[in-house]
Structure 1
Amino acid sequence: MPRQLTLVPAPSAAEPAAALGTVWPALRAALAGGAPLAVLPADPGPADAARQLLRPDEPLEPGTDLVVVTSGSTGSGKGVLLSAGALRASATATLDRLGGAGSWLLALPVSAVGGLQVLVRSALADREPVVLGRGEPLAAATARLPAGDRRYVSLVPTQLRRFLAEEPDALASFDGVLVGGAASDPALLAAAHAAGVRVRTTYGMSETAGGCVYDGVPLDGVSVRVADGGIELTGPVLAHGYRLDPAATAEAFAPGPGGGVWFRTRDAGSVDDDGRLTVHGRLDDVVISGGVNVSPPAVEARLREHPSVADAVVAGVPDPEWGQRVVAAVVAAPGAAPRLAELRPWVAERLGAAAAPKALRLIDTVPTLHTGKPDRRAVLHILGDI
Structure 2
Amino acid sequence: MLIAGHLLPGTRFCRVDFWVPGGSPADVAGQARAWLGGPGDVPLLIATSGSTGTPKRVVLPRDAVLASVRASAARLGASGPWVLALPPSYVAGVQVVLRSLVAGHEPTVLERDGWPAGEGWFTSLVPTQLTRMLSSPADVAALRRAHTVLLGGGPIGATLRARAEEAGVHVVATYGSAETAGGCVYDGVPLDGVAVALGAGGRVRIAGPTLFSGYDGQPDLTREVLVDGWFLTSDAGRFDEDGRLALIGRLDDVIVTGGLNVPGPAVAERLRAHPAIGEVEVLGVPDDEWGNRVVAFVVPGSPVAEEVDQRPSRDPRPSVDELRDWVAGAHPRAWAPRQWVVLDAIPLLPNGKPDRQALRALALEDAAS
Same fold (TM over 0.5): yes
Cα separation, 2, equivalents of 1:6 and 1:276: 35
3-state SS of paired residue (1:93): helix
Does residue 1:330 correspond to 2:301, yes or no?
no
Q: Is there any run of 5+ residues in structure 1 with no aligned partner, and where?
A: 37-62, 256-260
Compute the displacement of 1:6 (Å). Answer: 5.5
Alignment counterpart, residue 11 of structure 1, candidates 19, 22, 25: 19
Residue 70 of structure 1: aligned partner: 48
Asked if 1:363 is matched to 2:363, the reply is: no
Question: In the alignment, what sits opposite 2:154?
Answer: 182
Q: Deviations over 1:101-151 (max 9, x none)?
A: 1111111111111111001101110100111127x8xxx5132xxx4x631
Distance 1:321 1:345, change over 3 A: same
1:261-303 residue CA offsets vs partner (Å, 9 max, x unmatched): 1111111112356542111111222112222111111111112
Query: Bigger shift: 159-168 or 205-214?
Result: 159-168
Shift of 1:319: 2.5
Equivalent AA in structure 1 for residue 19 of structure 2? P
Distance in 1 between residues matched to 2:59 and 2:42, nearest whole Å: 6
Q: How many angstroms apart in 2 are the aligned matches of 1:334 and 1:274?
A: 36
Which stretch of structure 1 is more off in the superposition, 363-372 or 119-128? 363-372
CA shift in 2, pair 1:315/1:274, >3 Å: closer
CA contact (8 A) 2:16 2:45 kept: no
The residue aligned with 2:57 is: 79
Counterparts of 2:241 and 2:298 in 1: how far apart (Å)?
Answer: 38
Partner of 1:153: 123
Look up the match of 2:134. Answer: 164
Separation in 2, partners of 1:64, 1:382? 42
The one-letter code sitting in structure 2 at the alignment partner of 1:250 is R
2:93 paired residue among 87, 98, 115: 115
Is residue 213–residue 219 contact of structure 1 (8 Å, CA) maintained in 2? Answer: yes
In the comparison of the two structures, how many residue pairs are matched? 343
| 2:109 paired residue among 131, 153, 163 | 131
Measured in 2, the distance between the counterparts of 1:18 and 1:343 equals: 47
1:230 lines up with 2:203 in the alignment: yes
Distance 2:274 2:329 in 1: 12
User: TM (normalized to structure 2)?
Assistant: 0.87
Distance 2:124 2:210 in 1: 18
Partner SS, residue 135 of structure 2: helix
1:259-278 mapped onto 2 (5 Å cutoff): 261-272=229-240, 274-278=242-246
Contact 1:105 1:152 in 2 (8 A): yes
User: Contact 2:150–2:172 at 8 Å: present in 1 too?
Assistant: yes
| Mapping of residues 1-386 of structure 1, within 5 Å | 3-5=11-13, 7=15, 10-11=18-19, 15=21, 18=23, 20-34=25-39, 63-133=41-111, 141-143=115-117, 147=118, 150-167=120-137, 168-228=140-200, 229-255=202-228, 261-272=229-240, 274-335=242-303, 336-339=305-308, 340-385=320-365, 386=367
Does the 8 Å contact 1:10/1:111 carry over to 2?
yes
- Distance in 2, Cα, partners of 1:100 & 1:68: 27
CA drift of 1:194 comes to: 2.6
Which segment drifts farther, 91-100 or 367-376? 367-376
Q: Which amino acid aligns with 2:168?
A: G
Partner of 1:57: none
Considering only aligned residues, what root-mean-square deviation do their CA atoms show, in Å?
2.1
8 A Cα contact 1:299 1:347, kept in partner: yes
Q: d(CA) in 2 for partners of 1:202 and 1:18?
A: 30
Contact 1:289/1:354 (8 A) holds in 2 = no
The separation in 2 between residues aligned to 1:24 and 1:109, in whole angstroms, is 13
Q: Deviations over 1:328-367 (max 9, x none)?
A: 2111224222422332221122222222111212112111
CA distance in 1, matches of 2:192, 2:13: 31
| Cα separation, 2, equivalents of 1:19 and 1:11 | 11
Opposite residue 82 of structure 2, the aligned amino acid is W
Deviation at 1:181, TM superposition (A): 0.4
AA aligned opposite 2:50: G
- Residue in structure 2 matched with residue 45 of structure 1 by the alignment: none
In structure 2, what is the Cα distance between the partners aligned to 1:65 and 1:231? 25
Contact 1:225 1:271 in 2 (8 A): no
Sequence identity of aligned pairs in percent?
45
- Could you tell me which amino acid in structure 1 is paired with residue 359 of structure 2? V
> Is the Cα contact below 8 Å between 2:14 and 2:44 reproduced in 1?
no
Whole-angstrom CA distance in 2 between matches of 1:72 and 1:142: 31
Given that residues 164 and 171 in structure 1 are in contact (C-alpha distance below 8 angstroms), is that contact kept between their aligned partners in structure 2? no
Distance 2:198 2:27 in 1: 40
CA distance change for structure 1 residues 320 and 230 in 2, over 3 Å: closer, same or farther? same
3-state DSSP of counterpart to 1:133? helix
Say whether the 8 Å CA contact 2:270–2:327 is kept in structure 1: yes
Deviation at 1:19, TM superposition (A): 6.4
